[in-house]
Chains A and B, each alone.
Chain A
Amino acid sequence: MSVLQEISSNVKNMKTLEYSLLARWTKQIKEDLRQGVKKPFREVIDVSWGDPHRGGVKPLTFVRQVLAACLYPQLMNGEKLPVDVRQRAQKLLDGCAGWSRLVFSKCSFSLGSYSATGGLPEIVQRVSEFISRRDGGVPSNPENIFLCCGSQWALTRILNVLVNAEAPFPTGVLTPAPCYSTTPLSIEGLGGVVIPYYLSEERGWELQVEELHRALESCKGACHPIALYVINPGNPAGQVQSRKSMQEVIRFASEKRLFLLADEVYQGCVYGETEFVSYKRVLSEMGPPLSDTVELASFHSASKGFMGECGLRGGYVELVNLDPAVKKYIYTLFCADSSPPVLGQIALDLMTNPPQPGDPSYLLYYQETQHIRSTVVKNVKKACEVINSLQGFSCQAVEGGAFAFPRIHLPAKAIQKAKEAGMQPDTFYCLRLLEEAGVLASPGSDYGQEEGTFHIRFCILLPHDVLGELLQRLSDFHTQFMKDFS
C-alpha cells in the first residue's frame, strides 16, 4: 500500500485551477506546431501570466548590465560598461561581503554567499529609504523589512504566522473576489479559510466597505477572521483604490480587529487618474491612535512595473506596528529559509534606486522606461476600446495593474455546452479561444466572480504590436463564438 495515499488534507483542499487544463492543452498545441501540424495560427500568444518578458517586453539595460558585472566582475575591467554600472556593481559586491566582513578583505566578494536573513543590510537600508521617499517622508525602519524570494513567498510566511491550524475555529482571511489565485491557495494550503468580499464590477471594481461588513457577518460561527487582504492596484481587476476607500478599509480593520495585508506589487503600474498611495502612508496620515495600532504588512516586488524581473524572485515585506515579541519569531521563521536569492535582492536595489538625471545610464534608462510606460497606456486604451465595441464583451477601465479582466456575456447555449463538457463556462470559452485562435488567457473562474458572471484575464504588459495581434484574434474569435452560440 502506498505511503502516499494519505497526504496533508490542507494540500488536498487547495483548489485545482482551471488554468491547469488550459496549460496542458497549450503544451500539446505547441508540440503539434513544432511537428508542423497545420493550425489557424502560427504560434500561441500566451498572456495568461503577468509576465512582461514572456510577452516580449525587453529587460532594462542598466539592470542587466549591473547584474552581469556582479556575476562576473572581470567585466568591470576596461571601459565597456558605463561608469555608473561599474560603480553600482562594485558597491553591491562590497555589500555582499559586508555581512560577514572578514580579515581577508581581498577575497572575492561573491554573489554566491548566503546573505543575512532579512537580506543584504545595505540593500535593506536603501529599500527603507525608497519607501520613506515614496511615502513623503514617513519613516521606514530597516529592521521591519524582510527581503524574500518573491512577494508571494513573504505573504505565505506571514500567513503562516497568522493562520492557527490548531485553534478550535479555522482561521479566516478576508480576500477580494476576484483575486489572483495564489493568495487564496496559500491560505487554504495552511489550513485557513478564504472569506471572499466581492468587488463591485459596475463601479469599476470598487471595494465597498459595506461588502466587507457583509463578508465578515457571513462567516460568523464558521471561522475566526484574523486578517484582511487587499491588492492595490488590483489583480486581476485593474482598479486603483482611492484614498477615501483606503481610509475606510483601515478603519474597518481597526474596528473589527483584523491584521491588514496590503499587496502593492503593482504600485509601479498606474495609468489612470487615480494615483497610487501606499497603505502605510494613508495609515500614517490618519494619525494616532490608528497609525500606532493597526497592524500592517505591505508587500512589493521586482517582478512587476518596468523591471518585470519575475524570474529573479525579488520581493519584500514591510511590517508596521507588529508586536516585537512576535517579530522575533517571524525573524526565526525567515532564518530557516536561509536567504533570498541574491540576484533578486540586487533587482530590488536597482528598482528602488534607478539611475538619476546626470548619470551616464540615465538617458537610456529613461527612454526604455518611458517606452514601456507609453506602450502600456496605449495598450490599455486600445484593449478597452476594442472589447467594449464587441457585442457580449465589456471591460471596466483599467487604471493600473498588468491585466485586462473583461466580462463575457455568454449566451445560454454556450453555458449549456460547457456544462455538458463538464467545464466552467469561461474555461470553455478560453479553451475554444486557445484551440481556434491560439491565445492563452485565463478564465474568471480561477479568480472568483459573482455567480452567473464570466470573465477572462489577459496581460496587457506587451509590445503594442503583439497586443494588436492578440486583440485581432480575440475579436475575430469572439464574434464567431457569439454567432455560433446565439
Chain B
Amino acid sequence: LNSSSPVFLNGVTCRGKVLTLDSMNPNVRRVEYAVRGPIVQRAVQIEKELREGVKKPFTEVIKANIGDAHAMGQKPITFFRQVLALCSYPDLLEDNKFPEDAKKRARRILDACGGHSIGAYSASQGIECIRQDVARYIEKRDGGIPSNPDNIYLSTGASDAIVTMLKLLVCGEGRDRTGVMISIPQYPLYSAALADLGAVQINYYLDEDKCWGLDVTELRRALNAAKQHCKPRVLCIINPGNPTGQVQSRECIEDVIRFAKEENLFLMADEVYQDNVYAKGCKFHSFKKVLFEMGPEYSSSLEMASFHSTSKCYMGECGFRGGYMEVLNMDPEVKAQLTKLVSVRLCPPVSGQAMLDLVVNPPLPDEPSYASYLKERTAVLAALAEKSHLTEEMFNTVPGITCNPVQGAMYTFPRITLPQKAIAKAQEEGQAPDMLYCMKLLEEEGICLVPGSGFGQKEGTFHFRMTILPPTEKLKVVLQKIRDFHLRFTQEFS
C-alpha cells in the first residue's frame, strides 16, 4: 500500500497524501542550508534541555554559527534606531529628546511613503528617494563614478536580490542548463538557491595556502570542465569572503572582470561585508569601481549585479531585512522582466528600506548626531578587528589547527587535522568528519559552530566556521575551550 493509493475506511474513500517525498518538487529535496542546519537544531534542543534543568558540562550554548552581531551583544547604532522609532510613531517628532537630524531624516522618509506611513506598500523596486540615496552613496564610495537610481533594486536583505537574479538567469534544458560559478568554500545560500532552481553549480576552489586567494587559472579550469555538461553563464564572487574572510586584491578583481568578459559571464558581486576589513594592507575595492577604472571596453559591456545589505558591517541589523542590488549594463528588455519578477513579492519591508537609507545616508560631520554615530561605528569595527587578530593568533597556537588571517567579514574558517580513527568513525556513521567533530564540541562544551562540509572544501580537508562576534572576553573563553577540546579529541581518537 503506497502513500498515494486511495484507501477505504468505513466505506468512505480516504487517501494517502497528495504532497509526498515522491510528488514534491525534487529540487527542494536537494536544498540544504548548513548555517541553520542539523547542528543548530541540536543546539536549540540542548538549550531547551538546559532550561528544563538537565545537567550538562556547561550552562549555556554559545551560538557562534550565524553572523548575527546583535545576538552576540553588539549594540545597534543609536541614531538609526531613533530615526526608525520616529518613522514608526510620528507623534515622537514633537518630542524634544530626539535630535533634529534624526527628525529631518524621518520626515523625509515618511514623505516618501504612501499615506506618510511605513505601513503602506512601497513601489516594488523600492522607495524612489531611497534608491536615489543609495545611488549617491555608491557614487561617493566609488570616487564619483555615476550610479543611476533606476538600476538600484531594494530588496529583503541581499539574499532576496541574489535569489531573484539567479531566478532570472537560470534557464535551458539538459546540456544547455545554466551553470553558475561559485567559490568553494561558499556561503550556502548560493548552493541552496542553485539546488532549488535546478541550476548547475560550478565550483572554483579558493587557495587555502595563499590566504584563500583566487586564481584565474582555477576559474578557467572549472569553467572548461563545466562546459562539457552545462552552459556556464554566471560567475558569483563574495568579497570580502564568507566563510573565508579574504579581501580580494585589486589585481585579482581585475583578473576576474577580464575573465568574465572573455567568457561572456554575468558577474554577481556579493559585497555585504564591504565595511568589514581588518588586515593591514587589505582594502575593499568595489567591483564596479575597478570595472570603470579598467575603461569603457569593460565598463560599457560587462553585465554585472552587486549586492549590499544592512545585516553586516557595523550596523548588524539582520532583523530588518534591508538590502539592495545595483545592476549594470542590463539589456532593457531583460530589466523589464526583472522589474516584473520583483513585483510578485510586492515590496521589501519598508522598515528595512528605511534602515538602508540611514546606512547610505548617515549623519554628516556638521550634524548633531555625527559624533556619537562615528564613535559607535568606530568602536564596533575596532572590536571586530581586534577579535579577528585574537582569533587567528589563538587558533594558530593549537597543534592541529591552522588559521588563515581573518582579513575581513565576520568569520574564521580554520583548518582542522582529524585523526584517521575519527574520520573512519564518521564514515561509519554516515556523517561528514567535521560534522562529527562539531557535534561533539557542541555536546561537550556547548559551543555551536558550522562544519566546513556545509560550505564546501577541498576533498580530504576539514574545517569549521566560527563567528568572531562574541564579546572579546567571551571570545577568549570560547577559543580556549575549542583548543582544549581539539587536544582532547585528537587524544581520544589517536
Residues of A within 8 A of B (CB): 1-12, 14, 16-17, 20, 46, 49, 51-59, 64-65, 67-69, 71-72, 75, 80, 96-97, 99-104, 107-108, 110-117, 149-150, 152-153, 156, 160-166, 182, 185-186, 189, 226-227, 254-255, 257-259, 289-290, 292-293, 295, 307-313, 321-323, 325-326, 329-330, 332-333, 335-344
Which B1-48 residues have a C-beta within 8 angstroms of A? 3-4, 9-10, 12-15, 17-21, 23-29, 31-33, 35-37, 44, 47
Instruction: Report B379-417 CB contacts with A as 1/0, cut-off 8 Å.
Output: 000000000000000000000000000000000000000
A53 cross-chain contacts in B, Cβ below 8 A: 113-115, 117, 119-120
Check B321–A156 contact: CB distance below 8 A.
no
Rounded to whole angstroms, the CA-CA distance of A65 and B90 in the bound complex is 10
Residue of A nearest to B123 (CB): A23
Residues of B within 8 A of A (CB): 3-4, 9-10, 12-15, 17-21, 23-29, 31-33, 35-37, 44, 47, 51, 59-63, 66, 68-73, 75-76, 81-82, 84-86, 88-89, 92, 95, 113-115, 117-122, 156-157, 159, 167-172, 188-189, 192-193, 196, 198, 233-234, 264-266, 303, 311, 315-321, 330-331, 334, 336-337, 340-341, 343-352, 471, 474
Name the 9 nearest CB pairs between A and B, nearest first: A54-B114, A311-B350, A342-B319, A68-B89, A289-B14, A72-B85, A53-B117, A110-B70, A107-B73
Check A11–B24 contact: CB distance below 8 A.
no
**With known contacts A226-B23, A311-B113, A54–B121 Cβ distance under 8 A:** yes
Rounded to whole angstroms, the CA-CA distance of A185 and B70 in the bound complex is 37
Check A311–B70 contact: CB distance below 8 A.
no
Rounded to whole angstroms, the CA-CA distance of A81 and B471 in the bound complex is 33
Rounded to whole angstroms, the CA-CA distance of A311 and B171 in the bound complex is 32
B118 cross-chain contacts in A, Cβ below 8 A: 311-312
Q: How far is the CB of B329 from chain A (nearest CB, A)?
A: 8
Check B60–A103 contact: CB distance below 8 A.
yes
Q: Which of B32, B196, B303, B345 contacts A153 (CB 8 A)?
A: B345
A68 cross-chain contacts in B, Cβ below 8 A: 85-86, 88-89, 92
B340 cross-chain contacts in A, Cβ below 8 A: 11, 14, 16, 20
Most buried by A among B19, B37, B192: B19
Check B168–A7 contact: CB distance below 8 A.
yes
Check B31–A332 contact: CB distance below 8 A.
yes
Check B25–A163 contact: CB distance below 8 A.
yes
Check A14–B193 contact: CB distance below 8 A.
no
Check A108–B20 contact: CB distance below 8 A.
no
A340 cross-chain contacts in B, Cβ below 8 A: 321
B32 cross-chain contacts in A, Cβ below 8 A: 332
Rounded to whole angstroms, the CA-CA distance of A182 and B303 in the bound complex is 29
Check B68–A2 contact: CB distance below 8 A.
no
**With known contacts A67-B89, A289-B14, A325-B21, A104–B73 Cβ distance under 8 A:** yes
Check A12–B337 contact: CB distance below 8 A.
yes
A295 cross-chain contacts in B, Cβ below 8 A: 17-19
Q: Which of B47, B113, B319 contacts A113 (CB 8 A)?
A: B319
Check B171–A6 contact: CB distance below 8 A.
yes
A160 cross-chain contacts in B, Cβ below 8 A: 25, 28, 196
B89 cross-chain contacts in A, Cβ below 8 A: 64-65, 67-68
Check A111–B319 contact: CB distance below 8 A.
yes
Check B19–A104 contact: CB distance below 8 A.
no
A112 cross-chain contacts in B, Cβ below 8 A: 69-70, 76, 315-320
B192 cross-chain contacts in A, Cβ below 8 A: 336
Residue of B nearest to A345 (CB): B319
Rounded to whole angstroms, the CA-CA distance of A295 and B20 in the bound complex is 11
Check A161–B28 contact: CB distance below 8 A.
yes
Residue of A nearest to B477 (CB): A103
Q: How far is the CB of B163 from chain A (nearest CB, A)?
A: 8
Rounded to whole angstroms, the CA-CA distance of A6 and B170 in the bound complex is 9
Q: Which of B15, B36, B348 contacts A335 (CB 8 A)?
A: B36
Rounded to whole angstroms, the CA-CA distance of A332 and B25 in the bound complex is 14
Check B18–A258 contact: CB distance below 8 A.
yes
Q: How far is the CB of B303 from chain A (nearest CB, A)?
A: 5
Rounded to whole angstroms, the CA-CA distance of A69 and B77 in the bound complex is 15
Rounded to whole angstroms, the CA-CA distance of A335 and B196 in the bound complex is 13
Rounded to whole angstroms, the CA-CA distance of A161 and B234 in the bound complex is 25
Rounded to whole angstroms, the CA-CA distance of A227 and B26 in the bound complex is 17
B24 cross-chain contacts in A, Cβ below 8 A: 161-162, 164, 326, 329
8 chain-A/chain-B pairs, Cβ below 8 angstroms: A8-B167, A11-B340, A14-B341, A49-B121, A100-B63, A100-B71, A112-B318, A166-B198
A114 cross-chain contacts in B, Cβ below 8 A: 66, 68, 71, 311, 318-319
Check B266–A3 contact: CB distance below 8 A.
yes
Check A113–B15 contact: CB distance below 8 A.
no
Residue of B nearest to A255 (CB): B13
Q: How far is the CB of A416 from chain B (nearest CB, A)?
A: 29
A49 cross-chain contacts in B, Cβ below 8 A: 121
Rounded to whole angstroms, the CA-CA distance of A111 and B62 in the bound complex is 19
Check B33–A341 contact: CB distance below 8 A.
no
Beyond A8-B169, A11-B337, A326-B21, 12 extra complex contacts between A and B, CB < 8 Å: A67-B88, A72-B82, A99-B71, A111-B320, A114-B311, A185-B343, A254-B14, A255-B13, A311-B121, A339-B319, A342-B320, A343-B349
B10 cross-chain contacts in A, Cβ below 8 A: 289
Check B23–A293 contact: CB distance below 8 A.
no
Check B337–A7 contact: CB distance below 8 A.
yes
Q: Which of B196, B265, B318 contacts A333 (CB 8 A)?
A: B196
Residue of A nearest to B344 (CB): A185
